[in-house]
Amino acid sequence: TSPADYFHDKCADILKTFVNTAGMVDYKALRRKRLELKALLDEFDNLDPKEYSSWPRADKIAFWLNAYNIQMLKIITDNYPIESSRLLRVLPGWGPKSILHIKGIWTDYKFLVMDEEFTLAEIDKRFFRKEFDDPRIFFAISRASLSGPPLRNEPYYGKKLNKQLDDQVQRFLSNPIAFRIDKEGQKVYLSALFQKTEYGQQFITKYSIDRKFKDQQPATRAVLNFITSYVSQRDVSFLEVGNYTVQYIRYDWT
């Protein structure tokens, strides 16, 4: 076992025990294991930066994915059961059990990784959007919401990262909350995660294309080009030559 694999293994018990194969989390049971969650996050803090720097790129990506997802679990369990505002719960996509009721979930909850302070938003911006530049990562991070990609009940590993990331994308796109085609209505529905204001712009670097999807904006063309590697050939044919408009699906933060 490599040093990186040994580290990733430490996340396995929590994920396997409290996350089912559909990505649903037993927060009530996990809340009783908060000390174990804290001890696990301490492992991220105690990792020697010199050891981390020697790891292959794939193991570094796996490390930050695991750190992000474990911290997300800890934030929610620390706030479980979620107390919601009656005023805010009537907003579209919120509901009484939305994580949006946890104020500052991405920006205010700090934790240490290799003795450096981070928030979830900082990890997303610094590593997922900039350093690693692989849009598949966006389908591997937990958003703890019904409209988000499912949380895996296993850690990420550098040695099988490509397979895990591809599987995450395929699982997400197989769900109508993420992607569906209405041929009669001539519409393609996409998750709000693909919008320019979310992650859409991030696809341009690797998936930009001018030859196809000419009716769409550059970010949408890149997203559609990305999607064609993960959906059926029949859907690919419609996306490439069909007449349609793209509509984004309202996000459900429950």
Q: pLDDT tens, 21-72?
A: 999 999 999 999 999 999 999 999 999 999 999 999 999 999 999 999 999 9
pTM: predicted TM-score of the whole model, two decimal places: 0.95
- In the numeric block, which tokens belong to residue 119? 């928030």
Residue 63 region by backbone torsions, left for phi larger than 0, else alpha for psi between -120 and 50, else beta: alpha
Tell me the C-alpha distance between 63 and 65, whole Å: 6
Rounded distance, CA 71 to CA 125, Å? 16
Q: What angle do CA 1, 139, 113 make, to 5 degrees?
A: 55
pLDDT band for 90, please (50, 70, 90 cuts). low
Selection from 155, 162, 75 nearest residue 119 by Cα: 75
Q: Is the pLDDT of residue 177 over 90?
A: yes
> Residue 86 has what pLDDT?
66
**Res 222 pLDDT > 90:** yes
